[in-house]
Structure 1
Amino acid sequence: MDIGALTLLKIKKLYIENINNLERIEINFNDGFNIICGQNGVGKTTVLNCVLASFNRKKLGLLNVNAKESHGFWETKFYRNDALDSRVHYIHKEDEINHSRSIKGDKLINSNYIISFSVNNRNMSTQYYGVNPLKHWLYKNYYLSDLNYSKENNFSLVKDCFSMIDRTVSFYKMEEYIDERKSIRNSYSLHNDRYVELYVATTNGIIKIDQMSSGYQSVLLILLSLVKKIESLDRFGVSVHNFEGILLIDEIDLYLHPEWQKKLMQIIRWLIPNAQIITTTHSPHIIQAAKPREIISLGIDGKDQVFIRDLPDSSEYGYQGWTIEEILTDVMGLQETRSDEYKIAIREFDRAMDDENANAAAYSYRKLESMLNPNNSSLKLLRLQMASLGGFNNDKIK
């Protein structure tokens, strides 16, 4: 029986008042990807923690009452099997909020179909007491166990992930070896003296997964760990492709090169197409890979209050055609993409032009020329401005 197909869970809306630095904010979520962006300290992780605390009180210690108030609360509206429901939880400043007894209000949402996922820059060679837990799980789950329908499908997805990350790479085999040097005596070992190796086929031949690039290994580890978490929701195994729950990922771009960030997004869409994904990011490359209406951009106004920024229309293609600089300024709210040194230099150039001081303008131009990309169109504009003062004819520095 495919348990994953029987349970649908989606967050519809989250209202937060006086929690951490969020004084009052209401966020509507769509059924697919929800990418929360904004500067550090704006409250992105607080949003995830409020969602999670609606299901699990152990995460309540990450939430505090706003410094200006005596209590705070959040309301979570959600769909479960197409029925709309809601929960309200609140905390008081005087309470020991790291204890579960301090949460008040409605009962927790009773569902296991929510996964909180942490992205770390680890690779497949990481060992715990001499054994890699993920390799051990893969071998035990798919090689030492009888595969039911769900697990057969999941194992097929696992193998596909290798080529989805890099089309020149494919899953080859897993083998169990006896460690003749020493006996591993701990709870992670397979048979006290054995370990597992995972091999992939590449254009350079058959190699161990540990020999792949750190970026490849990081993406693979995230995907396989996600499969493991979803499967663990039921002892019979949940079909990953049909998972209709909620996935929370804080900083999905963490430690990943932009090339791998986009690839991870694409593969997660393919791997769990029916899941609701709520994630935070600092990366414009993640936003560039987003689809329309998937971005929730948080900003801070002149009164230091967090609000949801109105974003320019992104058409049916999202922000795929936007430059990184356009995304940083118009979507993520970055006020300035240039360095302070550049801003000083351009102000000096403008001042020299206003004063019609050709020597000072030429000096500032040379400084800007060394800072900017040689192909930057701004250099052409600066040269045109210099031409109005006679170019470099009077430049004694040249």
Structure 2
Amino acid sequence: MRIDKLHLNNFRNFEEASFEFNKNFTVIIGENGTGKSSILQGLRLAAASFMLGIDEAERYHIQKEDVRRIDIESRFIPQKNCSFKASGELNDQPITWKRTLSRLGGRTDYKEANELIEIAERLNKAVNEDFKEDVDLPVICYFNTSRLWVDSYFTVKLKKKGARLQDGYARCVDNRTDKKSPMEWLKSASWKKLKNKPDSVLLDAVLEAIDICIPNWKPSEWDEDSDDLGGHYSQDDLSSFVPLSFLSDGLKTMGAMVAEIAYRCAILNPHYGKEAIRESKGIVLIDEIDMHLHPKWQRQVVNDLKKAFPNIQFIVTTHSPFIVQSLDSDELINLDATINEKPYKLSIQDVAADIMQVNTRSEKYSNQNGDAERYLKALDKAVNVSEEEKEKILETLVEIENSNDPAFSAFLKMNRLAKLGKTKD
């Protein structure tokens, strides 16, 4: 599954807007409130429309908070015909679908999504009724900003044999990530590997994906003592065995997210064996991918995900110039400005200033620089004016000199003494 285009109408803060996405990786940037998360929500609902044709999957529809409202005097007026329209590809077949909520309080229709739903129904029949094993199923995942691993420790049970479609799509676009199911599957698969069962190659594939995406930590086995996925953490030529839950929040959260994506690849497309992670197609949506990642890691996370999941389409948001700097121009949607430059060719300062439109100097420096310019202009003016005007200018000069920075204040006073000589402060 891939989404190439998305059109939003009266959807959240968009009256009407269209967006195009790279087939592999797209990063959306923009100031807070410009609509990054709104685009992801539209994509989330578009991807979830596939599950209307899957028996065991949850149903997701346009919600009241997705309806655009206009502020008129003392009230908000909900707009009619809130909709999304997506165009893309499913199982190598081009497809377009649309869903609309015509009015607040009504139901989200699906008549213009029937083609997508029918494809999903055929796949559902092939798996659940015809018992076909070699059916390619799209991976769908959504991760919002609440994905931080803050849960207290939970008991990890051995995952029992389940249903391919039910397990593969359970909570896949829910607002809370599913950390428990992947961990249970990893524990169960580890026990199967000890018994030399043939499907243990899926475990190796999942561990390889985690290894690619998590720096300095190589997962290796299920640790009985901690009842957790264990691995070797290496830093400064030292290595120690550390369970996943003992890692830092950034490593742990990214590890859980990658494990969930890889787990769904393995569950939905087990017929690919050890290539299940690399061969699975689908779409993964991540809000604020830079969350809890050090800048060094931000520089490589995009390439790591591309390497681990080469056939998955990622669409993410970020506020990080380091992530933007790792992109090509067709991998970036900038909601603040139109930029044609290739970010990967720019310095981090140029990315921040030219693409993200952020002053690369600190606010304190910028304010001091402005004060200095204003001071020197006023000082030049004070040389050839009447005594009365000079007194007024001196008041301004002294006010600027009263800085919290002693060196800056001394610099200004030295300039005044050089120009005007000793004056009454």
TM-score by length of 2: 0.67
SS at match of 1:198: strand
Q: Distance in 2 between matches of 1:362 and 1:270?
A: 60
Provide Cα deviations, 1:24-57, integer angstroms capped at 9, x if missing partner: 2111112110101111111111112212212435
Q: Distance in 2 between matches of 1:16 and 1:152?
A: 42
Q: Distance in 2 between matches of 1:277 and 1:115?
A: 10
Q: Is the 8 A contact 1:219 1:260 kept in 2?
A: no
Q: Which has the larger radius of gyration?
A: 2
Q: Distance in 1 between matches of 2:407 and 2:290?
A: 28
Match of 1:58 in 2: 60
Pick which of 57-66 and 246-255 moved more: 57-66
Pick which of 261-270 and 227-236 moved more: 227-236
Match of 2:73 in 1: none
State the AA in 1 paired with 2:267. S
State the AA in 2 paired with 1:127. Y
Q: Distance in 2 between matches of 1:130 and 1:264?
A: 28
Deviation at 1:64? 1.3
State the AA in 2 paired with 1:24. E
In the alignment, is residue 264 of structure 1 matched against residue 301 of structure 2? yes
Gaps of 5+ in 1: 1-8, 180-194, 300-308, 373-382
Deviation at 1:297? 0.7
State the AA in 2 paired with 1:198. G
Match of 2:184 in 1: 136
In the alignment, is residue 14 of structure 1 matched against residue 6 of structure 2? yes
Match of 1:217 in 2: 252
- For residue 264 of structure 2, the aligned residue among 219, 229, 246 is 229
Match of 2:377 in 1: 354
Deviation at 1:105? 4.2
Match of 1:84 in 2: 94
Q: Is the 8 A contact 1:251 1:281 kept in 2?
A: yes
- For residue 232 of structure 2, the aligned residue among 200, 214, 235 is 200
- For residue 122 of structure 1, the aligned residue among 122, 126, 149 is 149
Gaps of 5+ in 2: 49-58, 71-76, 121-136, 158-178, 383-393
Question: What does 1:41-56 correspond to in 2, within 5 Å?
Answer: 41-56=33-48
Aligned length: 344
In the alignment, is residue 285 of structure 1 matched against residue 322 of structure 2? yes
State the AA in 2 paired with 1:271. A
Q: Is the 8 A contact 1:16 1:25 kept in 2?
A: yes
In the alignment, is residue 161 of structure 1 matched against residue 210 of structure 2? yes
State the AA in 2 paired with 1:321. L
Q: Is the 8 A contact 1:136 1:196 kept in 2?
A: no
Change (3 A) 1:275 1:172: closer
SS at match of 1:215: helix
- For residue 327 of structure 1, the aligned residue among 351, 356, 365 is 351
Q: Distance in 2 between matches of 1:228 and 1:83?
A: 25
Provide Cα deviations, 1:297-316, integer angstroms capped at 9, x if missing partner: 113xxxxxxxxx311321xx
- Percent identity reads 19
Match of 1:310 in 2: 338
State the AA in 2 paired with 1:117. F
Whichever structure has more helix as a proportion of its residues is 2
Question: What does 1:96-107 correspond to in 2, within 5 Å?
Answer: 96=106, 101-107=107-113
